[in-house]
Amino acid sequence: MNKPRDIPELYLNRELGQLAFNRRVLAQAENRATPLLERLRFLCIVSSNLDEFFEIRVSGLHAEIEAGSPAIGPDRMDAGQVFAQVAKEAHDLVATQYQLLNLEVLPGLAAEGIRFLRRSDLTPAQSEWIKAYYFREVMPVLTPIGLDPAHPFPRVLNKSLNFAVELEGKDAFGRNSGIAIVQAPRVLPRVIRLPREISGAEYDFVFLSSILHENVAELFAGMKVVDSYQFRVTRNSELFVDEEEVKDLRTALRGELPHRQFGDEVRLEVADNCSPQITEYLLSQFKLDPEDLYRVDGPVNLVRLMSVPDGVNRPDLKYPAFRPGPPSPIAPQEDMFAAIREGEILLHHPYQSFQPVIAFLQQAARDAAVVAIKMTVYRTGAESELMEILIGAARSGKEVTVVLELLARFDEEANINWAQRLEEVGAHVIYGVVGHKTHAKMLMVVRREEERLRRYVHLSTGNYHPRTTKLYTDWGLFTANEQIGADVNDVFTQLTGLGRATRLKHLWESPFTLHKQILRAIQNEIQNAQGGKKGRIIAKMNALLEPETIGALYEASKAGVEIDLIVRGVCALRPGIPGVSENIRVCSVVGRFLEHSRVFYFHNDGAEDVYLSSADWMDRNFFRRVEVCFPVLDPKLRKRIVNEGLQPYLEDNCQAWDMDQDGHYSLRSPRRGKPQAAQDALLELLAHRPAS
């Protein structure tokens, strides 16, 4: 009898699943009920997501095609098959994105007095101001490169804005190459706001590309500019560091980071007016095929428009403001240690404030009774109050240990800088384990109380990143439970020292026990269902890809276990297949906030076990990362997680998308009854609305 893993038809493709997720994000921009500036923001988010998709996933497909690699995923599609479908879907997605920008979002914003002026729209006064701006702020940092035997085609930076300029005539040295490349330095803003006295309006913007188009001839005195075309190339951004060979990971990584800007080319974006001959020329220079070309009707980098909504003071065109609510057990300025001793404290971000985590660390840093602080850091940003507190604690003589993941993709440079600053003040900085990214979210404070040491722990599903705690949904738990504290201490010891993995009492840990325990919990539900008892699983995560786990869920469905999966992004499981997965439902909720929490519920014959985790159900999380999954032991808090973190998503009929067995998604609609949106309901329940 074939196991599910041996049947490729039971699995969906990862790359196509990622594009399907971006379709759901784009739907937020398509939805006319979404405030206009938020629609623009969602368009930018799609572009940002696609950039990373090409830098990592498509570059991987390119490498597999070049190497002639066999199909390795459970769906058994080879790289060439996947790429052909990805190219078609991605081109359709980008075309829809720009059509939406040009036909709905920009005209809608213009009607509200927020205009992006084209060159043909400019008044003489505006043109004059722009020319002066060009000579003052732009031209001094430009370096035009005329192409000839002494000046070959430049190695343009990853995702940078560039212009191919067609020329006629000869320069001062008698050269006539016919083409030049102008690279726009990243120090230049891509969107410039015109002064009110010049534009006559509060929010008139002009693209840097328009300014360069208008004035590019100033760079080529005495020559005729036939035309100029903006273009952008995306490169492979995976870093390669052989961790087993290097003696100093931080130094090796710092040396590797610049190569990210010059990896192999995977995508070329050009303006839709780019001439065929220039397009062919650029494709040949980058050794790309026509399938890698994306013609766009507008700026080639929409990500740089992300700053516009924040810079426009129009609350009526944004989501309603809110203030994160405090957790009820904690009063302002309260002793965090006393509050945690009273009972476990659960935080639900962004609806509840992240401030208690900052207060906890602040109090630990200045409390004379605290002898040690240990923390894992995956993503925290280039600026972080938490890291500054740790630096202050180490400077004041506290024993500070930070397990800092240097290989957190796209945060490597920030983490390297924090590592250096922490080491300078005497903190112990550990870079994790060779071959395993440290993705667990743990903060432990050891405090001397009444002649004994007590551990206080904060565990989380999300990063210690104050900015993303306002944008991502996550859970955090404060506890003084001695056994959980001992488990967390053991995990830190594994990360900082040497020795075999110890048996943990409560935590499930990757790469040792998490996968086995998830399978065991699923098997337990199967046994209960087969014994005539209720079998029930609800799991919320960002991605579901690991084949053995998917196979176990199929077996559970066959046994009669009712399964609801809330998977924000990629799901390789096919729900609703008769005889295989008819008892499995998959939905994805996409809304104002990025759904980021991982919550696992197992009925367990009425015990109703609830776990929170840093890990998705993916191969990398189970086998190539250090992750923790922790139980919520307090019955009241377990019930709260079900009531806030699971049930509202199952009942959502506004922002939830149901997935069918072919991987297609359909948006639920209220039809009859009251509209219910999980994120709106949680804002109403937990957050504060400012007085209007």
- Say if residues 633 and 481 touch (Cβ distance below 8 Å): yes
**Spatial separation of the C-alpha atoms in residues 272 and 281, rounded to whole Å:** 15
Greatest alpha-carbon pair distance for the chain in Å reads 90
Report the C-alpha gap between 614 and 541 in whole angstroms.
9
- Catalytic site includes residue 664: no
User: Strands, DSSP E only, in 397-461?
Assistant: 399-404, 428-430, 437-438, 442-449, 452-460
Which helix (H) or strand (E) element contains residue 548? helix 547-558
CB-CB contact of 301 with 326 (8 Å): no
Across 155-200, the runs of DSSP E, i.e. the strands, are 161-168, 179-184, 191-193
- In the set 439, 465, 515, 603, the catalytic residue is 439
Cα separations in angstroms, 212 against 108, 142, 146, 593: 26, 10, 16, 36
Measured distance CA(251)–CA(343) in Å, rounded: 44
Q: What dihedral do alpha carbons 165, 170, 173, 174 form, nearest 10°?
A: 130
Report DSSP state, residue 593: S
Cα distance between residue 444 and residue 437, in whole Å: 19
Taking Cα atoms as reference points, which of 319, 317, 322 lies closest to residue 683? 322
Among 11, 53, 10, 17, residue whose Cα is nearest residue 588? 17
Measured in degrees and rounded to the nearest 5, phi and psi for residue 513 equal: -125, -15
Residue with tokens 């409560």: 506
CA distance 524 to 519: 9
User: Rounded CA gap, 119 and 111, in Å?
Assistant: 19
169-176 long-range contacts, Cβ below 8 Å, gap at least 24?
169/222, 169/223, 169/224, 170/223, 171/146, 171/220, 171/222, 171/223, 172/222, 175/146, 175/148
Active-site positions read 439
